[in-house]
């Protein structure tokens, strides 16, 4: 009985070890692929310094890796190679500055086709703008009073603005929509002031709106 128990536990121990090894190698695979691509791109200063993988973490759907780029790499070279890098790794590359250090974030997270709408929570009027490679993008209206939405036909501009209107209405904000196209926001007519005609009255309202925003 004792021998059987010892045997069982040692077999389980081996299984566990094998399972852990497989898991670890699976974990390393995408990270190794990114490191290989980084090597192949040959980011290197003339003193032989290379980017350093300073942090990586798993997201629910992929991996995010943070590289610190050594000073001395031309920003133009980084920009050119970042696109190629994103293509090779099928990830999203974003550049940012952390103090005086240039950081390159590589996220291997395929964007999902659909994401359920979750009402954002927060102090001021929180607006859920959509999904990025690092997760949901939520901004506060108090911190972001101006928003410029641009994109090619069918990119989702109208739907983005509709999501903004819904969030603002749910936060009990007073909403005025000026939409001379006259179709996209008609659905909000019972909940917001929707102006859809180019008339002197519209101009007066725009002036009034500008005035009330300044005071």
Ligand X SMILES: Nc1ncnc2c1ncn2[C@@H]1O[C@H](COP(=O)(O)OP(=O)(O)OP(=O)(O)O)[C@@H](O)[C@H]1O
Is residue 157 a contact residue for ligand X (CB under 6 A)?
A: yes
In this complex, which beta carbon is closest to ligand X, that of residue 13 or of residue 135?
135
For ligand X, the binding residue among 158, 169, 175, 209 (CB under 6 A) is: 158
Which stretch in 15-23, 60-68, 154-162, 188-196 sits in contact with ligand X by CB under 6 A? 154-162
> Residue 156's binding partner, choosing from ligand X, Mg ion, none, with beta-carbon cut-off 5 to 8 A by kind?
ligand X
Is residue 132 a contact residue for ligand X (CB under 6 A)?
A: no
Is residue 151 a contact residue for ligand X (CB under 6 A)?
A: yes
DSSP the chain: -HHHHHHHHHHHHHHHHHHHHHHHHHHHHHHHHHHHHHHHHT---TT----EEEEEEEETTEEEEEEEEPTTS-HHHHHHHHHHHHHHHTSEEEEEEETTEEEEEEEE-PPPS---------SS-EEEEEEETTEEEEEETTT--------STTSSHHHHHHHHHHHHHHTT---EEE-TT-STTGGGTTTSEEE---SHHHHHHHHHHHHHHH-
Which stretch in 67-75, 83-91, 146-154, 203-211 sits in contact with ligand X by CB under 6 A? 146-154
In this complex, which beta carbon is closest to Mg ion, that of residue 157 or of residue 205?
157
> Which residues sit at the interface with ligand X, rule CB under 6 A?
151, 153-159
> Which residues sit at the interface with Mg ion, rule CB under 5 A?
157-158
């Amino acid at each position: 009985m004792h021998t059987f128990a010892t045997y069982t536990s040692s077999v389980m121990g081996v299984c566990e070890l094998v399972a852990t090894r497989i898991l670890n190698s699976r974990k390393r695979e995408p990270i190794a692929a990114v490191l290989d691509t980084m090597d192949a791109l040959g980011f290197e200063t003339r003193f032989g310094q290379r980017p350093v993988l300073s942090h990586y973490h798993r997201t629910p759907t992929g991996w995010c890796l943070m590289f610190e780029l050594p000073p001395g790499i031309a920003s133009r070279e980084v920009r050119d190679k970042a696109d190629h890098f994103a293509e090779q790794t099928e990830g999203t590359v974003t550049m940012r500055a952390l103090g005086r250090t240039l950081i390159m974030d590589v996220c291997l997270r395929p964007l999902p086709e659909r994401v359920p709408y979750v009402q954002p929570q927060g102090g001021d009027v929180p607006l859920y703008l959509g999904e990025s490679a690092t997760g949901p993008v939520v901004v506060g209206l108090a911190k972001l009073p101006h928003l410029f939405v641009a994109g090619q036909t069918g990119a989702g501009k109208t739907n983005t603005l509709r999501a903004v209107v819904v969030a603002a209405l749910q936060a009990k904000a007073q909403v005025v929509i000026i939409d001379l196209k006259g179709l996209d926001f008609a659905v909000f007519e019972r909940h917001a002031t929707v102006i859809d005609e180019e008339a002197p009255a519209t101009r007066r309202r725009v002036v009034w709106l500008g005035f009330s925003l300044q005071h």
